[in-house]
Amino acid sequence: MENNEQLNQLRHSAAHLLAAAVLKHYPEAKPTIGPAIDNGFYYDFDFGDVKVSDADLEKIEATMHELVKDWKAFERHEVSKDEAINEFFHNEYKQELINEFSGEDKQLTIYQSGEFRDLCRGGHVENPANELQHFKLLSVAGAYWRGDEHNKMLTRIYGTAFETKEALEEYLTMQEEAKKRDHKILGPQFDLFTFSEKVGGGLPLWTPKGTLLRNLLDDFVQKLRKDRGYMKVEIPHITKKDLYETSGHWDKFADELFRIDTREGHHFAMKPMNCPHHTQIFDRRPHSYREMPQRYANTTMVYRDEQSGELSGLSRVRSITQDDAHVFCREEQVKSEALAIWDIIEEFYSSCGFPELKVRLSLHDPNQFNNYLGTREVWQHAENQLREIIHERGVDFYEAEGEAAFYGPKIDFMSYDSLGREWQVATIQIDRNMPERFDLNCINEDGDKERVVMIHAAIM
């Protein structure tokens, strides 16, 4: 979400205003939740049998402009659980939230502006009549209650709001330009990929032209890797539960695993990433220090059990093609190997017309350490090592807590598209947890086992 608390409060206030306007036109509608999000806000409604479409947005938006004239403030009211249940007795969605948020003798809060009252934790502008002027309703979509496809499909109304008219107009112009460049339109238009309801949502099918384009990009990446000593490997698309229990994915990645139960009663899963498989290729035999580092490259699909309501074109899918690589190296080789990966990333993206990449050091969240594998000492060592690598490269960077993978910190490379939108395009990760969990070693000069370090590298 944009780093502007005032703007987030403005957009959350606009979500309240949207709900109030909807109830003027559809008094039987049931409002559910309405947060601020990146670039705007939304509110989900249960309209029963009534169909609401983009054609209805103009009248709802006009009512928002009328209502806000009398909204002088957001009044905060503390209520008990029973009082809240009584107020929202007709709305089972609000009652579910009330039961969830109310502890023993815990007060809930309702915010009122004009005639509209909503269950809310707060975070609004002080004077909506003056501050909430520049907004636009954008679209109507379907969304499952709480993102669960087993729940009822609701109607989601999206909008955006800004502090000035100029900022709103600039954003709307950018959105119009984005539509012209939308890959969901360009892909079918140029016959690159398609989707089929019979195959399933989030599972793209690549046409001959699209496959040719993919292969050209992959061939280029593999050449860059081969020139630097990478060896291609191939792995299966499923694995026994045992592999992911050892790696930690069965626990940390539980909600995103496609699970398979065989007729013999064994538990398998579609692979959500490739690193655990690559550890087993490395571990197939002992490796002398003279053979280090070992560099494996693999372009293959991985699978994530994304919820239906979150799928979007190629940006959020259930099957993802990764050009994945893993380096197994000694401690003193980490820096040189990471810098060599950096060279590949720079050469690939400069050749594709992205000469300048923004660098983000993605760190663990120290307040949520139970979400990660390993010890704090291991994490601190890896994070400091990545800082040294960035400093040696001599580039500007910024740090982002909570953006690390659950097994290790990473350097993320960010770039911008033609509309100024930021995307993560490549990554380098240092991982000491996977070698520890799989007991991965090489034989050093003294004939002793020496723990290796694993570096994850994705270019595209």
Using CA atoms, how far apart are residues 409 and 404, in angstroms rounded to an integer? 5
Return the structure tokens found at 287. 């490796």
Using CA atoms, how far apart are residues 140 and 57, in angstroms rounded to an integer? 8
Can 304 be counted among the known catalytic residues?
yes
Catalytic residue among 275, 287, 329, 364: 275
Can 275 be counted among the known catalytic residues?
yes
Can 12 be counted among the known catalytic residues?
no
Catalytic residue among 225, 271, 304, 364: 304
How many angstroms separate the Cα of 367 from the Cα of each of 167, 196, 386, 430? 35, 43, 21, 21
Using CA atoms, how far apart are residues 427 and 424, in angstroms rounded to an integer? 8
Can 24 be counted among the known catalytic residues?
no
Can 456 be counted among the known catalytic residues?
yes
- Residue 432 DSSP symbol: S
The answer to whether the beta carbons of residues 30 and 90 sit under 8 Å apart is yes
What residues have CB less than 8 Å from 325, skipping those under 6 apart? 225, 230, 295, 296, 297, 298, 341, 456, 457, 458, 459
Catalytic residue among 324, 360, 432, 442: 324
Can 228 be counted among the known catalytic residues?
no
277 φ, ψ to 5°? Answer: -60, -40
Using CA atoms, how far apart are residues 10 and 366, in angstroms rounded to an integer? 30
Using CA atoms, how far apart are residues 391 and 124, in angstroms rounded to an integer? 41
Using CA atoms, how far apart are residues 236 and 3, in angstroms rounded to an integer? 42
Catalytic residue among 277, 410, 432, 437: 410
Catalytic residue among 326, 360, 364, 432: 326
Other CB atoms within 10 A of residue 312 CB: 12
Q: 107: helix, coil or strand?
A: coil
Can 326 be counted among the known catalytic residues?
yes
The answer to whether the beta carbons of residues 310 and 255 sit under 8 Å apart is no
Catalytic residue among 322, 380, 385, 424: 322
Beta pairing class for 36-37 and 40-46:
antiparallel
| Residues paired with 443 in a beta bridge | 288, 449
**Active-site residues: which are they?**
275, 304, 322, 324, 326, 410, 456
